[in-house]
Amino acid sequence: MTELAYGSGKAFQRRHVLGWSLISLSGAVLSVAYLATVLILTPEQWSAFGLAGGIAAAGLTVFAQALQRRFSRPILDAIDAIAAGDSAPDGFRIAFARLTHLPYRSARDTLIVWSGAAIFVPCFLAVALESVSIFTCIAIAMATLSGGTIAAVFMFFGIKQMVAPLVDEWAQSLPDGSERAELMPDVSLSTKLAVPLLAVSTVTLSFALLLSYALASRPVEAQDVRVKQAYLEYSVDELAKDADAIGRLREIGAAFSATHAMLIIDRRQRAIVDGPPDGMRPAEIEWLLGQTEEATGESTGFDSPNSFAWLNLEADGRRVLVAVTPGSVFAADQLATSMAFAGVTFIALMITFLTCRALARDVSVTTQRLIGRAERIADGDFLAQDVVESEDELGVLGRTFDRMVDSLREMLGRVAAAADGLDRAVNDLGAIGEAVTTATDDQRADIEQATAQVAAVNHKVSQITGNAQALNANVEEASSSILELGAASEQLNQTATTLSSHVEEVGGSIEQMIRSVAQVGENTEGLVAGVSETASSMSEMAVAMTEVDTNATHAAGLSSQVVELSERGQERVHETISGMEAIRDTTETADEVIGSLAGRMAEIGAIVDVIDDVADETNLLALNAAIIAAQAGDQGRSFSVVAEEIKDLADRVLSSTKEIGELIRAVQNETANATEAIGRGTERVLSGVELAAEAGLALEEITGAARGSGGRIQEIVHAVREQAGAARHVAGLMDHVSAQVEDIQEAGREQERGNDVMVRGAHVTRDVAQQTQRTTEEQSRGAGRIRHSMESIRDTVDQIHAGLQEQTHSCRSTVSFLEQVFERTCSNEESSLRLANATRALGEQAAALRDGVNRFRIQ
Partner 1 sequence: MASSVLTANEGQIELACFEIEGQVVGIDVFQIREIIRNQETTPLPNAPALIEGVIDLRGQVIPVIDLGRALAQGCSKGGTSARIAIVEIEELIFGLRVDAAVDVLSVASGTIEGPPALATHSGYAAIRAVVRCKDAPPVMVLSLDQILESVYRSNSRAGEEPR
Judged by the rule CB under 8 A, the positions of this chain that interact with partner 1 are 616, 620, 623-624, 626-627, 629-631, 633-634, 637, 640, 643, 647
Nearer to partner 1, 212 or 479 (CB): 212
Minimum CB distance to partner 1, residue 629 (Å): 8
Q: How far is the CB of 627 from partner 1 (least distance, A)?
A: 5
Check if the beta carbon of residue 562 is closer than 8 Å to that of residue 706: yes
**Of residues 90 and 634, the one with the C-beta less far from partner 1:** 634
Cβ atoms of residues 484 and 516 within 8 Å: yes
Strands (E), 407-551: none
List Cβ neighbours of 764 (8 Å cut-off, separation of 6 or more): none
Buried b (16+ CB within 10 A) or exposed e, 184-208: beebebbebbbebbebbbebbbebb
**Identity of the residue, 540 or 644, whose beta carbon is nearer to partner 1 in the bound complex:** 644
Full DSSP string of 132-160? --HHHHHHHHHHHHHHHHHHHHHHHHHHH
User: Minimum distance from CB of 619 to partner 1 (Å)?
Assistant: 9
- Measure the N-to-C terminal CA separation of the chain; round to a whole number of Å: 22
CB of 658 to partner 1, least distance (A): 13
The DSSP secondary structure of 250-319, one letter per residue, reads HHHHHHTTS-SEEEEEETTTTEEEE-PPTT--HHHHHHHHHHHHH--S---SSS-SSSEEEEESSTT--E
What is the nearest approach in angstroms of partner 1 to the Cβ of residue 623? Answer: 5
Q: Is the CB of residue 781 less than 8 Å from the CB of residue 424?
A: no
To partner 1, the closest distance from the beta carbon of 647 in angstroms equals 8
What are φ and ψ of residue 578, in 5° steps?
A: -65, -40
Q: Which is nearer to partner 1, 505 or 644 (CB)?
A: 644
d(CA 33, CA 636): 19
576 or 640: whose CB is closer to partner 1?
A: 640
CA atoms within 13 A on the CB side of 536: 7
How far apart CA 688 and CA 690 sit, in angstroms, is 5
- The nearest distance, CB 292 to partner 1, in angstroms, is 20
Single-letter residue type at 739: A
For residues 530 and 547, give the distance between their C-alpha atoms in angstroms, rounded to a whole number. 26
42 vs 624 by CB, closer to partner 1: 624
The gap from C-alpha 749 to its chain's centroid, in whole angstroms, comes to 108
Comparison of 107 and 629: residue with beta carbon closer to partner 1 = 629
Residue nearer to partner 1 on the CB measure, 609 or 662: 609
At closest approach, how far in Å is the CB of 146 from partner 1?
A: 24
Least distance (Å) between residue 53 CB and partner 1:
38
Q: Which residues pair with 320 in a beta bridge?
A: 265, 312
Measured CA to CA, the distance from residue 561 to residue 707 in angstroms comes to: 10
Instruction: Kindly list the strands in the beta sheet with 271-274, ordered across the sheet, starting from the edge strand earlier in the chain.
Output: 271-274, 261-266, 319-324, 308-312
Q: Long-range contacts made by residues 167-171, C-beta under 8 angstroms, separation at least 24?
A: 167/96, 167/99, 167/100, 167/389, 168/387, 168/389, 169/1, 169/4, 169/5, 170/92, 170/95, 170/96, 170/99, 171/96, 171/387, 171/389
Distance of closest approach, residue 339 Cβ to partner 1, in angstroms: 19
- For residue 122, whether the previous peptide bond is cis, meaning omega lies within 30 degrees of 0, is no
Helix segments in 84-188, DSSP class H:
92-128, 134-173, 177-183
Question: How near is the Cβ of 267 to partner 1 at its closest, in Å?
Answer: 23
Burial zone of 452 (CB within 10 Å; 0-12 exposed, 13-18 middle, 19+ buried): exposed
Please state, in angstroms and rounded to a whole number, the distance separating the CA atoms of residues 250 and 734.
177
DSSP string over 765-780: TTTTHHHHHHHHHHHH
Least distance in angstroms from the C-beta of 250 to partner 1:
36
Q: Which CB, 616 or 743, lies closer to partner 1? A: 616
Cα–Cα distance, 611 to 252 (Å, whole number): 62
Q: What is the DSSP letter of 7?
A: S
Amino acid identity of residue 540, one-letter, is E
Determine the residue type at 138: I
Strands (E), 769-849: none
User: Cβ atoms within 10 A of the Cβ of 625, count?
Assistant: 23
Of 609 and 791, nearer to partner 1 (C-beta) is: 609
Q: How far is the CB of 214 from partner 1 (least distance, A)?
A: 22
Closest by Cα among 172, 11, 9, 174 to 84: 9
User: Shortest approach of partner 1 to residue 624 CB, angstroms?
Assistant: 5
Residue 645 CB, shortest distance to partner 1, in Å, is 13
Shortest reach from residue 593's CB to partner 1, in Å: 36
Closer Cβ to partner 1, 145 or 629, answer by number:
629
At 97 the three-state DSSP class reads: helix
Smallest distance from partner 1 to CB 639, Å: 12
Minimum CB distance to partner 1 smaller for 43 or for 633:
633
| 265 phi/psi in degrees, rounded to 5 | -120, 135
Q: Which is nearer to partner 1, 373 or 647 (CB)?
A: 647
Closer Cβ to partner 1, 131 or 334, answer by number: 334
Closer to partner 1 by CB, 17 or 623: give it.
Answer: 623
State in angstroms the smallest separation of the CB of 348 from partner 1: 17
Q: By C-beta, is 511 or 613 nearer to partner 1? A: 613
Q: Which is nearer to partner 1, 378 or 627 (CB)?
A: 627
